[in-house]
């Protein structure tokens, strides 16, 4: 069954930990990232920052790929 909620846990050493998926390998297995903090809210805040930065990175990469595709399509169409 899939997990729900924040999935932030307290470790034995007193720190709080959260795992998140940073990306995928070519064989589609997950690449895990970890966030550690001294309290629950610090981990939650850091995770939000990291997720937002990953979203912007993926969005930028998609924009570059789309731009290259449109440019190539235009070049092919203009030479035909």
pTM above 0.85, yes or no: no
Nearest to 16 by CA among 2, 30, 42, 37: 37
pLDDT of residue 30: 86
Structure tokens at 44: 């939650």
Low-confidence residues in the chain, pLDDT < 70: 1-5, 54-67, 71, 74-75, 79-80
Taking the C-alpha atoms of residue 18 and residue 33, their distance in angstroms, rounded to an integer, is 8
Tell whether the torsion through CA atoms of 44, 45, 46 and 51 is positive or negative: positive
Q: Is 73 exposed, middle or buried (0-12, 13-18, 19+ CB in 10 A)?
A: exposed
Residue 62: predicted pLDDT: 61
């Amino acid at each position: 069954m899939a997990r729900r909620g924040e999935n932030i846990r307290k470790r034995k050493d007193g720190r709080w930990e959260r795992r998140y998926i940073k990306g995928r390998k070519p064989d589609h297995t997950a690449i895990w990232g970890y966030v550690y903090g001294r309290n629950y809210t610090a981990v939650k805040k850091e995770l939000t920052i990291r997720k937002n930065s990953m979203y912007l990175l993926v969005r930028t990469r998609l924009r570059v790929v789309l731009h290259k595709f449109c440019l190539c399509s235009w070049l092919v169409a203009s030479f035909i």
